[in-house]
Structure 1
Amino acid sequence: MRENSWFLICMWVLLVGNCLGRFVVEKNSLKVTSPESIKGVYECAIGNFGVPQYGGTLVGTVVYPKANQGACKSFDDFDISFKSKPGGLPTFLLVDRGDCFFTLKAWNAQKAGAAAILVADSKDEPLITMDTPEEENANAEYLQNITIPSALISKSLGDSLKKALNGGEMVNMNLDWRESLPHPDERVEYEFWTNSNDECGPKCDSQIEFVKNFKGAAQILEQKGYTMFTPHYITWYCPEAFILSKQCKSQCINHGRYCAPDPEQDFSKGYDGKDVVVQNLRQACLFKVANESGKPWLWWDYVTDFAIRCPMKEKKYNKECADKVIQALGVDLNKVDNCIGDTEADVDNPVLKAEQDAQIGKGSRGDVTILPTLVINNRQYRGKLDRGAVLKAICAGFQETTEPAICLTEDIQTNECLENNGGCWQDKSANITACRDTFRGRVCECPLVNGVKFSGDGYTHCEASAALRCEINNGGCWRETQEGRTYSACIDDHSHGCKCPYGFRGDGVKSCEDVDECKEKLACQCPGCKCRNTWGSYECSCSGGSLYMREHDTCISKNVKTEVSWGSVWVIILGLVAAGAGGYAIYKYRIRRYMDSEIRAIMAQYMPLDNQPNNVHHPDI
């Protein structure tokens, strides 16, 4: 009795903390498209089970059953099916709140063929989050098999839908999750609030299974820089009046500052809550050390390996087993131990203190009170803890067109470009399209192909705009190969035109026809020339063994002698010799005259010459 009272006190402390805090109900929009009387957009609360279609939409028609309106019993008992007919819209089943768990309603709706379930509130109040049953009722096998999305709607909207349906009107609506998660940029930041306890029933089992299944995708996303992941651990403190009690000492560390519930909820056997807190702290410290070494993804390896090698059932949930796992991963064990510190000291542990602070909601994110919980881009994820569902939600957190390839695989989303090319431009002959698949749908934008940028509106036309445009589908121009020759009408420059090459005529786009140069007398017009047309050109020959010179459009004889007679050679040589001798004689003559004039001028300064008078005056020297 005392042990149960202690457990209730601990839970009371947790609940008081939650009441003083702020719990945010995560919502998506619901758009009623018909009838006209209730057409509009409404809010609905996302259930914390099933698979919400984060980043997408779901269109369906609403049905309110005439029997089993609370969906607490199987619809097979009433011979009712909600499977959509071929070509028809999926069925959204509207049910009343009350009498059984939300999850049971969803399970019965899913088995009957409904695509989604809408639970109408029974009273006028703010929307709440529909969650799975408490621990003592969480053993139902169907809980992990619910896959349809669920939403809680207000009583007033539920009444309006019922009224329209009872009046014979068809009610169509669109469930929209596209803005349920922020998607500001090309990186997603997400947190996983978890614990190391493996004895808490189906929730712990599904949590461990999720970590194992999601590890591969998480590590790839982290290693390539697409995501930034941080694990967190929920703890609470013991009331001051009970710090010295036996129960507090067994469930808390650091003198009641950090506590966790007993794993088996039995204080007389097995592991205690403080064992869980210490292991939570060890996992948080391992992440801290691994993150500082640039390998934060090792956390996934550690948690997976620890769950396999050190389970509580085998009495291996201890430091010795944990240390072996840490060493096997190559993480510095001393740094991890230093991070953990003294768990018996009456002081704050900086790591766990930071965890308690982080539990309090900031901005648009509310307090973390549900365990386990994923927080994606500062918004709490609601839905089944499943690899595909969580990956879909993370992909919804990327800015459109920046999501990694894993987000565009068939098991994550539908490729809208496969149907009618998404309504975008395409060139089927070159297999080029402006449709670009994204997680939220598709965008029509002219592509970049082999370095060639296409420009246009992306819907009605795209045109290659670079100099290399002829490399892509020949620039949309005519091109043909015959007789081993290829001709193209594409002009590979900035004119972006199509012009038939020399020897052809036509529009250059659909066709270019060979020009018969012979018939049209465009070539080979010289006397004695014979013309033969070829594809794209012509061949010209000459009669009488002559050679045709295409550049001059003329014929020359093949028999022209190229030898030069020796007589001609000697005439040329003698002519060159004579010219050289004459040039030399002229050169010698001019030099001689020049020298004579210079000598005579010098001698005239010192002695009279015969042809000069004797009274020539000479200056003094």
Structure 2
Amino acid sequence: MKLQRSAATLLLGFLVVSLIPSSMARFVVEKNSLRVTSPDSIKGTHDSAIGNFGIPQYGGSMAGVVVYPKDNKKGCKVFDEFGISFKAKPGALPTFVVLDRGDCFFALKVWNAQNAGASAVLVADDIEEPLITMDSPEEDGSSAKYIENITIPSALIEKRFGEALKKAFSAGEMVNVNLDWREAVPHPDDRVEYELWTNSNDECGVKCDMLMEFVKDFKGAAQILEKGGYTQFTPHYITWYCPQAFTLSKQCKSQCINHGRYCAPDPEQDFSTGYEGKDVVLENLRQLCVFRVANETKKPWVWWDYVTDFQIRCPMKEKKYNKDCADAVIKSLGVDIKKIEKCMGDANADSENPVLKEEQDAQVGKGTRGDVTILPTLVVNNRQYRGKLDKGAVLKAICAGFEETTEPAVCLSSDVETNECLDNNGGCWQDKAANLTACKDTFRGRVCECPLVDGVQFKGDGYTTCEASGPGRCKINNGDCWHASRDGHTFSACSDNGEVKCQCPPGFKGDGVKSCEDIDECREKKACQCPECSCKNTWGSYDCSCSGDLLYIRDHDTCISKSASQTKSAWAAVWVILIGLAMAAGGAYLVYKYRLRSYMDSEIRAIMAQYMPLDSQAEIPNHVDERA
């Protein structure tokens, strides 16, 4: 029940394997924030240790009210026996149950509280010590089912803080707290780096079955993330080494390769029958090399295909867990077998294997990440994941590792996110008539943000108001202007000629926003004013007709004949007019020519008269005779 009480504890086998001396071991307790918002006497923020089962709400937060039961304070019995229910009433905050540590497994306490309606469990430590991680016990037939079905988050809190919560509740105070996992996983950029420390063994009981099921379920999401460049995944495998004094023993020879350097527990815990630990080490090494070779061809996601196919085609239970079956799977995936064999090296050599040596080095914690001591372990952005290996829960943790607003679409799948916009529209603005909403669902919760629809940006606070603005506004709900349809005709008061405004269209009158009424052009004498016309009003327009065999011309508001004889007469009149105009023009031209000639003749005569007398004039002497 109390994991890591002693740093010298060394747990081998599938659950916990340590490669480093106890004096150097560094197990990091992954924490989330717990903030008390009331009462004022204990208000503040505290750390809590995330339980390694259930589903922590990575990337989010949860508000609730604290309850401390009068009976069954340690939660080791079913609460129904005491008539206790933690189910919150409609509209009330979720219930966070505080339980005392001791007498039974942590997971059993949480399971009993969950069945009684609790939304989260806080286990108060019974001694003053640094926070530890509440781990699930080794599953047996009785515990396997309830551990698998725990779905609420839980955390261990320090003894002193737990006593303060219980004291405030017992005094009749309403104790409101907020569990916050938003910083439990760092999210520095738009790519998440994560690791899965796993094992190829499929004969270790419930833990193995759970791990194999998770890999199969998570494969699709993992490959989508990897192919899209959103994540960088790396598989890891834990091995331990045999002390040098025992490398020649039967136990080390059956469980280790490379002369005791890399070992795994015997799958059946029986050295005389079935598969041996070294078979597991070799398959672990092969799976590492499949990843490395696939990564060289820019297809690291092939690892997921190999591991899932190997589980299906080569299980230990059917005695197919061997090299021949593995090679058949590799061949079907188109991976180069020779490159994989070269990567694996010689298992019998008395020397280090570069691939497995690198794995042992990676097991040691670096930076903020502690040593990997529990199998399986998921590490997201250098932080160890705590909680059950469930597709939705793990995807939530990975998505929490993205920088805000950069989460890929898979992070909004039903496995991860419940759409908060479906409940009362998230409290945001909406226009039901136009099916528009300001509620935007994101991985970290909903935001109220005025939408952009068909190139039209709505503006407002997103909570109470959002109004379409700018060009194109008329495309969105007719710009909030009046519009109506009747008899196959549709009219809108929205106009968008540089300045969007609501103005009733021609044929209507009104404010253009709430109403536009049809104008009766016939009654108001605005149409069909010619003597032969008769007027009939229509919705938004009018129809004019002419009496007899006349045709109405709308542009000129007049009637003309449409019969053939009258048309010919009209054309004859036109021709008479045209001929008359032509004759007048010709006469004017002749007059013009006559007057021009007369004018020119008179000018010529005047010029000649200056140089010689004309027949009609007497000779005039122009000199004197000088003779005597």
Q: Please classify the TM superposition score into its range, dividing by the shorter chain length.
A: 0.7 to 0.9
1:277 and 1:139 map into 2 onto residues whose CA distance is: 29
The question of whether the paired residues in 2 share the 8 Å contact of 1:10 and 1:238 is answered with: no
**Could you list the per-position Cα deviations for residues 377-403 of structure 1 after superposition, in whole angstroms to 9, with x for gaps in the alignment?**
222111111223222323333344443
Given that 1:477 and 1:490 are in contact with CA atoms closer than 8 Å, whether structure 2 keeps it comes out as: yes
- Of the structure 1 ranges 189-198 and 34-43, higher mean CA displacement relative to structure 2 is found in 34-43
Aligned to 1:176: 180
Separation in structure 2 between the aligned mates of residue 161 and residue 456 of structure 1, nearest angstrom: 42
The corresponding residue for 2:198 is 194
The separation in 1 between residues aligned to 2:113 and 2:577, in whole angstroms, is 115
- State the alpha-carbon separation in 2 of the partners of residues 533 and 372 from structure 1: 82
Whole-Å separation in 1 of the counterparts to 2:267 and 2:146: 24
**Partner Cα distance (1:424, 1:29) in 2:** 28
Of 57, 62, 69 in structure 2, the residue corresponding to residue 58 of structure 1 is: 62
User: Which position in structure 1 is the counterpart of 2:362?
Assistant: 358
The residue that corresponds to 1:167 in the other structure is 171
- Residue identity in the other structure for 1:388: G
Q: CA deviation at 1:374?
A: 1.0
AA in 2 matched with 1:403: E
Q: Are 1:516 and 2:520 an aligned pair? A: yes
**Residue matched to 2:126:** 122
Shift of 1:161: 1.3
Counterpart residue number, 1:482: 486
How far apart are residue 499 of structure 1 and its match? 1.4
Q: Give the AA of the match of 1:444.
A: C
Instruction: Assess, with a 3 A threshold, how the Cα gap between structure 1 residues 13 and 517 changes in structure 2: closer, same or farther.
Output: closer
Partner of 2:263: 259
The whole-number CA distance in structure 1 between the counterparts of 2:233 and 2:524 is 77
SS of the residue corresponding to residue 53 of structure 1 reads coil
Say if 1:469 and 1:312 are closer, same or farther in 2 by CA, change over 3 A: same
Question: Residues 308, 556 of structure 1: CA spacing in aligned structure 2 closer, same or farther, 3 A cutoff?
Answer: closer
Moved more, 469-478 or 74-83: 74-83
8 Å CA contact retained: 1:518, 1:531: yes
Q: CA deviation at 1:181?
A: 1.9
Aligned equivalent of 1:381: 385
State the match for 1:562 in structure 2: 570
Distance 1:350 1:72 in 2: 48
Give 1:63-462 correspondences, 5 Å limit: 63-134=67-138, 140-462=144-466
Deviations 1:249-278 (A, max 9, x none): 433323333222332333333333222111
Change in Cα spacing, 1:410 to 1:582, as seen in structure 2 (3 Å) is same
TM-score by length of 2: 0.83
Equivalent position of 1:495 in the other structure: 499
Q: Which residue of 1 aligns with 2:36?
A: 32
2:321 counterpart SS class = coil
Q: For the residues of structure 2 that align with 1:378 and 1:567, how far apart are their CA atoms?
A: 99
Distance 1:540 1:156, change over 3 A: same
Gaps of 5+ in 2: 1-8, 598-628
Structure-1 separation of matches of 2:473 and 2:10: 75
- 1:564 aligned partner, one-letter code: A
Aligned-pair distance for 1:431? 0.5
1:434 shift after superposition: 1.1
Number of positions where the alignment pairs a residue of Structure 1 with one of Structure 2: 581
Amino acid at match of 1:158: G
Query: Relative to structure 1, is the Cα distance of residues 380 and 552 closer, same or farther in structure 2, using a 3 angstrom cutoff?
Result: same
Q: Distance between the aligned counterparts of 2:84 and 2:578, measured in 1?
A: 123
Mean Cα deviation higher: 409-418 or 133-142: 133-142
| SS of equivalent to 2:501 | coil
Tell whether the 8 Å contact from 1:26 to 1:382 is kept in structure 2 after alignment.
yes
- Residue 617 (structure 1) aligns with: none
Query: 1:267 is paired with a residue of what secondary structure?
Result: coil
The answer to whether the 8 Å contact 2:62/2:178 transfers is: yes
Indicate conservation of the 8 Å contact 2:17/2:239, yes or no. Answer: no
Structure 1 stretch displaced more, 523-532 or 228-237: 523-532
TM-aligned CA deviation for residue 23 of structure 1: 2.3
After superposition, the C-alpha distances for 1:498-533 in whole angstroms (9 at most, x for unaligned) are 111122222211111122333333344455554433
SS at match of 2:306: helix
- 1:22 corresponds in structure 2 to 26
The percentage of aligned residue pairs carrying the same residue is: 69
Go from structure 1 to structure 2 and tell me whether the alpha carbon gap of 1:520 and 1:288 turns closer, same or farther (over 3 Å shift).
same
> Would the aligned equivalents of 1:139 and 1:201 in 2 still touch at CA under 8 Å?
no
Unaligned 5+ segments in structure 1 are: 1-6, 590-621
Letter in 2 for 1:504: F
Distance between the aligned counterparts of 2:493 and 2:460, measured in 1? Answer: 22
State how far apart, in whole Å, the 1-side matches of 2:579 and 2:140 are: 128
Indicate conservation of the 8 Å contact 2:193/2:232, yes or no. yes
Please say if residues 529 and 542 of structure 1, whose CA atoms lie closer than 8 Å, have aligned partners that are also in contact: yes
Could you tell me whether the CA contact under 8 Å between 2:19 and 2:240 is conserved in 1? no
CA deviations on 1:452-480 (whole Å, 9 max, x unpaired) are 33333322332333533222212221112
Structure 1 Cα separation of the partners of residues 559 and 574 of structure 2: 29
**What secondary structure is seen at the aligned counterpart in 2 of 1:161?**
helix
Q: Aligned with 2:446: secondary structure? A: strand
Any idea what SS the aligned residue of 2:127 has?
Answer: coil
Supply the distance in 2 between the matched residues of 1:341 and 1:16 (Cα, whole angstroms).
25
Alignment check: 8 A CA contact 1:13 1:238 kept: no
- Matching residue's letter, 1:419: D
SS in structure 2 at match of 1:164? helix
Asked if residue 464 in structure 1 is aligned to residue 468 in structure 2, the reply is yes
Deviation at 1:19, TM superposition (A): 4.7
Cα RMSD (Å)? 3.5
Q: Tell whether the 8 Å contact from 1:47 to 1:129 is kept in structure 2 after alignment.
A: yes
- Greater shift after overlay, 240-249 or 65-74? 240-249
Q: Deviations over 1:514-559 (max 9, x none)?
A: 2233333334445555443332223344557554443344455553
Counterpart CA distance in 2 for 1:80 and 1:521 is 83
Please tell me whether the aligned partners of residues 13 and 239 of structure 1 are also in contact (alpha carbons under 8 angstroms): no
Look up the match of 2:542. Answer: 538
CA contact (8 A) 2:459 2:468 kept: yes
Q: CA deviation at 1:86?
A: 4.7
Q: Write the distance in 1 (CA, Å) between the matches of 2:164 and 2:345.
A: 60
Give the aligned residue type for 1:145.
N
Asked if 2 retains the 8 angstrom alpha-carbon contact of 1:478 and 1:490, the reply is: yes
SS of corresponding position for 1:564: helix
Alpha-carbon contact 1:448-1:454 (below 8 Å) kept: yes
> In structure 2, how many angstroms separate the alpha carbons of the residues matched to 1:57 and 1:427?
29
Alpha-carbon distance change, 488 to 83 in structure 1, aligned in 2, over 3 angstroms: closer
Maintained 8 Å contact 1:260/1:273: yes
* TM-score of the two chains, using structure 1 as the length reference: 0.83
Confirm or deny: 8 A CA contact 2:195 2:235 kept in the other structure: yes
Once the two structures are TM-superposed, the CA of residue 108 in structure 1 deviates from its matched residue by: 2.7
Counterpart AA for 1:53: Q
Structure 2 CA distance for aligned equivalents of residues 577 and 81 of structure 1? 113
Residue 535 to residue 266, structure 1, CA distance change in 2 (3 Å): same
Query: Once structures 1 and 2 are overlaid, which stretch shifts more, 532-541 or 437-446?
Result: 532-541
Amino acid at match of 1:516: D
